[in-house]
Chain A
Amino acid sequence: MTTLQSETGAHIGAPLRFVFAAALVLALGVAAYGLHAGGKAPLALSLLFGAAFGIVLQRARFCFFCNFRDWFDAGDPRGLLGIVVALAVGLIGYTLVFGSWLPDSSTGRLPPDAFIGPVGIALVAAGLVFGAGMAISGSCVSAHLYRLGEGSPTAPFALIGTAFGFVLGFLTWNGIYLSFVSDAPSIWLPQSLGYAGALLLALGALAVIAWIVVRLSRPQAEAARASDPWRAVFVERWPAWIGGAMVGVLGTMAYLRVGPLGVTAEIGGRARQAANALNVVPARLEGLDTLRGCITVVRDVLLTNNGVFIGALMVAAFAAALVAGQFRPAWPTGGQILRGLTGGVLLGWGAMTGLGCTVGTFLSGTMAGALSGWVYGAAIFAGTAATLVVGRRLGALPKP
């Protein structure tokens, strides 16, 4: 028994962990029920979607940076293939919804709320910087949120850094908007290719990416899977492709009922609220009301859809980590604080300028058939790869 305890790193006894996790899940359920009964169905749904997203992220370790690094460093393709599955499932789901909401894709209208952002230099720069932030802080924003639930020593500093990065983004936004964003086209692929054409092209591109990822991977020692269903579901990491499929389904359901998945609107909104109160950012951010994405609006209410979404994400990830014995709080080292803060600032600036993070602009945008999703994704992973190579050569980032 002691060996199992030290193996899972749990500091508290198993029964207590389970009771606490069950209480957290119950509290989320009660909160959702209360919100729904109070006539706030979108908030209740956002809470449930957030909780489900948190559990899937934690259980499948659906982390854009770790999945990329596993392949980049160790030649393990499974995580990246999980992302490919998420995009493929989401693309099909979004196309089904679009067909009902906007039967003719060529009218010039865009489907409501879908994250179809402007494609230009600003988007590429934002992706590169966001990718660098991932490499330095060790995660993207969504993964830092679920890692917070695992007791990560870096995550709190990365998220604080992200808020500061957003403020930097507000300060540079007006100039960037006028020079590089206002004329950049928002390209929605189904508009010119039709739904079937856009879907086939996207699935084809994903197949090519999957083929390249597999070709450039190395054979992996197949870890023995637990035959015990309890361990398979609650303790061991879910296969990445199952996590990916769930993210794709969740993305579609969230879009159908509330809005596209995204995790930075609330962080940015609160950062803007604070920065406005301190009078350090322009009160007017040009053109934001005309653009699609995780748009930062000044918050003047206590609860927002995105706020309860990321709140529930963190709580549910914490509960999942508790059950799995993966809640391992640790005191941060100086290096972790420094890397969390600097990486976080880059994440925040990138997410503000790119109008979203890996979840909003990349995942939800690509699912929606937006060219901006593809461009942003490519820039992010290029930025991550370049930063890993240069950072390691300079000795600033740990070697694999």
Chain B
Amino acid sequence: MSIKVALWAALAVAVGVAAATSAQAQSSAKPSPLVTGEWLEKNLSAPKVRVIEVSVEPGVFERGHIPGAQNIVWHTDLVDTVRRDIASRDKFEALSRKLGLEKDTTVVLYGDNNNWFAAWGAWIFKSYGFADVRLLDGGRKKWEADKRPFDTRVAAVEPSKITLPEANTKLRARLGDVSDVVNKKADAVVVDIRSPDEFSGKLFAPAGSQELAVRAGHVPGAVNVPWVRAVAEDGTIKSVDELKKLYAAAGIDGTKPIIVYCRIGERSSHTWFVLSQVLGYDVRNYDGSWTEYGNTVGLPVVNVAGTVWGGK
């Protein structure tokens, strides 16, 4: 046993340790798609971080928002207001420029109503190629409950010159994709994230919803995991382990592609975010959802409750 051998051994150990730590550093460097209020409050003035509110209740943003946050109006900014579709590339590019976003901006979205519309926003941002899109865990409600500050001033932002690619169609399912799965021409798990009563066909839609389908029930073969089950009491999204267990119990483990849907595609964005961004599964959001599928002539429907439209 010479000194040489001992030195070689020491060197080998050192290299091994260094490699291990750097690998660890790399894996922990992959940012979580969810940010805490504490992190956000510390990073509010970070130059690459832009905070965007997407709330459904009008006036909520104006009466107090996270300092420096900018506002997106779901009904007009993120959709085509005439045709039923997501905002076009040109429209979303103009909005992104106005918001001063660059390709490497960390976009942090939050909103009221359990981040439903913020999650819809995250889906659109991801579709148009933004790499780092995150949600404020717990949304407005948790920020407020944690007694963090709000502000009413307007953020002064320099417009950017960003150009966006066409929307990534791999994040979006269309009617044909869903009917292919139903007709066994394609293999995917279809997840219906509506309430059990909508899933079974007892209800056409939650009370007060204007947009309806004239058929009740669900897509044949779909599994029902209501979106709210991914959420803890305080509105934050459950831990990765809990989520894995929850979805695995319904047969969703990421081995097959997933399609999520709800009534109009906004609650399903929430589940899309959880499954694709938090768990890393291959998920498409079917934004046509039940108001498209359930209204389409001739497609098979499972209606356990047997509710008949307009019938007595």
Does residue B298 face the partner (Cβ distance < 8 Å to A)? no
Does residue B210 face the partner (Cβ distance < 8 Å to A)? yes
A112 touches B152 (CB 8 A): no
Bound-state CA distance A111–B62 (Å) is 9
B154 touches A100 (CB 8 A): yes
Interface string of B58-78 (1 = CB under 8 A from A): 110111000000000100000
A100 touches B58 (CB 8 A): no
Instruction: For chain A, residues 152 to 173, give those with C-beta under 8 angstroms from any C-beta of chain B.
Output: none
Interface residues on B, range: 10 to 19
Among residues of B, the one whose C-beta sits closest to the C-beta of A41 is B144
Interface string of B188-227 (1 = CB under 8 A from A): 0000000000000000000110100000000000000000
B62 touches A101 (CB 8 A): yes
Does residue A259 face the partner (Cβ distance < 8 Å to B)? yes
Among residues of A, the one whose C-beta sits closest to the C-beta of B58 is A112
Among residues of A, the one whose C-beta sits closest to the C-beta of B207 is A300
Does residue B91 face the partner (Cβ distance < 8 Å to A)? no
Max chain B C-beta neighbours (<10 A), residue from A39, A101, A257 = A101
B210 touches A289 (CB 8 A): yes
Does residue A73 face the partner (Cβ distance < 8 Å to B)? no
Residues of B within 8 A of A298 (CB): 208
6 contacts between A and B (CB under 8 A): A102-B62, A112-B59, A112-B62, A257-B63, A259-B59, A300-B208
Does residue B153 face the partner (Cβ distance < 8 Å to A)? yes
Interface string of A257-284 (1 = CB under 8 A from B): 1010000000000000000000000000
Residues of A within 8 A of B59 (CB): 112-113, 259
Query: Contact partner of B63 among A256, A289, A300, CB < 8 A?
Result: A256
Give residues in A with beta carbon < 8 Å to B: 39, 100-103, 109, 111-113, 256-257, 259, 289, 298, 300
Bound-state CA distance A184–B235 (Å) is 42
Bound-state CA distance A112–B154 (Å) is 15
Among residues of A, the one whose C-beta sits closest to the C-beta of B145 is A39
Among residues of B, the one whose C-beta sits closest to the C-beta of A108 is B76
A103 touches B58 (CB 8 A): no
Interface string of B270-312 (1 = CB under 8 A from A): 0000000000000000000000000000000000000000000
Bound-state CA distance A102–B58 (Å) is 13
State how many angstroms separate the Cβ of A258 from the closest Cβ of chain B.
8
Among residues of B, the one whose C-beta sits closest to the C-beta of A100 is B152
State how many angstroms separate the Cβ of A291 from the closest Cβ of chain B.
13
Give residues in B with beta carbon < 8 Å to A: 58-59, 61-63, 73, 145, 152-154, 207-208, 210
State how many angstroms separate the Cβ of B73 from the closest Cβ of chain A.
8
State how many angstroms separate the Cβ of A122 from the closest Cβ of chain B.
22
Max chain A C-beta neighbours (<10 A), residue from B62, B207, B208 = B62
Determine chain B's interface SS by DSSP, over half rule: loop
Residues of B within 8 A of A113 (CB): 58-59
Max chain B C-beta neighbours (<10 A), residue from A39, A102, A109, A113 = A113
Among residues of B, the one whose C-beta sits closest to the C-beta of A104 is B154
Among residues of B, the one whose C-beta sits closest to the C-beta of A42 is B63
Among residues of A, the one whose C-beta sits closest to the C-beta of B61 is A112
Residues of B within 8 A of A300 (CB): 207-208
Among residues of B, the one whose C-beta sits closest to the C-beta of A256 is B63
| Leading 9 A-B pairs by shortest Cβ distance | A112-B59, A101-B62, A112-B58, A113-B59, A112-B62, A103-B154, A100-B152, A113-B58, A257-B63
State how many angstroms separate the Cβ of B77 from the closest Cβ of chain A.
10
Bound-state CA distance A257–B73 (Å) is 20
Residues of A within 8 A of B153 (CB): 100
B152 touches A101 (CB 8 A): yes
Bound-state CA distance A109–B73 (Å) is 10
Among residues of A, the one whose C-beta sits closest to the C-beta of B210 is A289
State how many angstroms separate the Cβ of B81 from the closest Cβ of chain A.
12
Residues of A within 8 A of B63 (CB): 256-257
Among residues of B, the one whose C-beta sits closest to the C-beta of A102 is B62
Residues of B within 8 A of A102 (CB): 62
State how many angstroms separate the Cβ of A85 from the closest Cβ of chain B.
26
Bound-state CA distance A134–B134 (Å) is 55
Among residues of B, the one whose C-beta sits closest to the C-beta of A112 is B59
State how many angstroms separate the Cβ of A97 from the closest Cβ of chain B.
8
Bound-state CA distance A298–B207 (Å) is 11
Residues of B within 8 A of A109 (CB): 73
Bound-state CA distance A300–B73 (Å) is 26
Among residues of B, the one whose C-beta sits closest to the C-beta of A300 is B207
State how many angstroms separate the Cβ of A364 from the closest Cβ of chain B.
14
Bound-state CA distance A102–B62 (Å) is 9
State how many angstroms separate the Cβ of B310 from the closest Cβ of chain A.
13
State how many angstroms separate the Cβ of A318 from the closest Cβ of chain B.
30
Among residues of B, the one whose C-beta sits closest to the C-beta of A298 is B208
State how many angstroms separate the Cβ of B106 from the closest Cβ of chain A.
25
State how many angstroms separate the Cβ of A96 from the closest Cβ of chain B.
11
Residues of A within 8 A of B58 (CB): 112-113
Bound-state CA distance A256–B152 (Å) is 10
Residues of B within 8 A of A111 (CB): 62
Residues of B within 8 A of A257 (CB): 63
Bound-state CA distance A100–B156 (Å) is 12
Instruction: Please name 17 further chain A to chain B contacts, defined as beta carbons within 8 Å, in addition to the given A113-B59, A300-B207, A300-B208, sorted by A numbering.
Output: A39-B145, A100-B152, A100-B153, A100-B154, A101-B62, A101-B152, A109-B73, A111-B62, A112-B58, A112-B61, A112-B62, A113-B58, A256-B63, A257-B63, A259-B59, A289-B210, A298-B208
